[in-house]
Amino acid sequence: MHASPFQGFSVEFSEHRKYTPGDDLKDLDWSVYAKTDKYYLKKYQAETNVTGYLAMDLSASMGYTYRQQLSKFDYGICLAAALGYMMIHQQDPVGLIAFDTQIRSALPPRSKRTQLATILALLANLKPAGKTDVAHGLSQLAAMIRSKSLVMLFSDLLADPEPIMQSLHQLRHRGHDIIVFHILDEAEVHFPFEGLVEFKDVEESQRMTLDAAGMKPDYLDAVNEFRAKYKEECAKAGIDFVAMDTSIGFDKALMEYLLQRRRRF
């Protein structure tokens, strides 16, 4: 549950504050005046609904798994389903978009209980395939959203970071709250390979044979730098960046993040 980021005079009592010239006299607390001979106004904290959008990356690379039960895409589906359930449970409208080089599926936000079944059915039928353009998908989403919303992105972000960050900045500039769930496979994070290994680019069909032991230090440095750059840029923009890998249970990873977020707010 969440409160509005602003205080007004509407729903739940919050606190008193001293009267200043120009304040509406109807908000004066006369019982406090009778006791203190001073003017105080009642302040209230408004409860508000948040509209959510679950944004799923359909790139072929999301379908990768090395030895984990869940692929990156399956992991993202579980995260999206859990967050969709929580939002519907607290009567917040939530919708879903799925994109590769453009948006392929779009479910408008609703808060009805039947919306959860619709979201789950759509998630169950999504398949990762082909190339992706995260930046373009986010730009299309930005053009669709009519009011300030919570955008939850599920992607491995395996593309040029600059246009992706530009699209995220575009969403933030329009007042949207954003959570980026950066999902990598356990093998992509820890590089457990040995000997000569052939790697295949699932989106370009290119192949490369490498000595894993010789490649590992440079690879790990590159991955850590890649994630650190996203984390830094997102922090500057006020975007939540959540690094996840598929060796950690999605429920445990999600709970840890939500507890951190709740402490911040």
Tell me, yes or no, whether 27 and 55 share the same domain. Answer: no
Reported as a single tens digit per residue, the pLDDT across 203-237 is 887 899 999 999 999 999 999 999 999 999 999 99
Reported as a single tens digit per residue, the pLDDT across 113-167 is 899 999 999 999 999 998 999 999 999 999 999 899 999 999 999 999 999 999 9
> Which residues span the domain enclosing 8?
3-47
What is the number of structural domains in the chain? 2
pLDDT score for 166: 97
Query: Computed from CA positions of residues 15, 265, 107, 175, in that sequence, does the dihedral angle turn out positive or negative?
Result: positive
Listed residue (20, 148, 128, 37) closest to 77, CA to CA: 128
Tell me, yes or no, whether 13 and 86 share the same domain. Answer: no
**DSSP 3-state percent helix, strand, coil across the chain (nearest 5):** 45, 30, 30
d(CA 90, CA 203): 39
Tell me, yes or no, whether 72 and 26 share the same domain. Answer: no
Exposed/middle/buried for residue 181 (C-beta within 10 Å: 0-12, 13-18, 19+) = buried
Count helices and strands (H / E) in the chain.
Answer: 8, 11
**pTM over 0.85, yes/no:** no
Tell me, yes or no, whether 33 and 98 share the same domain. Answer: no
Tell me, yes or no, whether 37 and 8 share the same domain. Answer: yes
- Boundary of a domain, candidates 47, 64, 81: 47
Tell me, yes or no, whether 104 and 209 share the same domain. Answer: yes
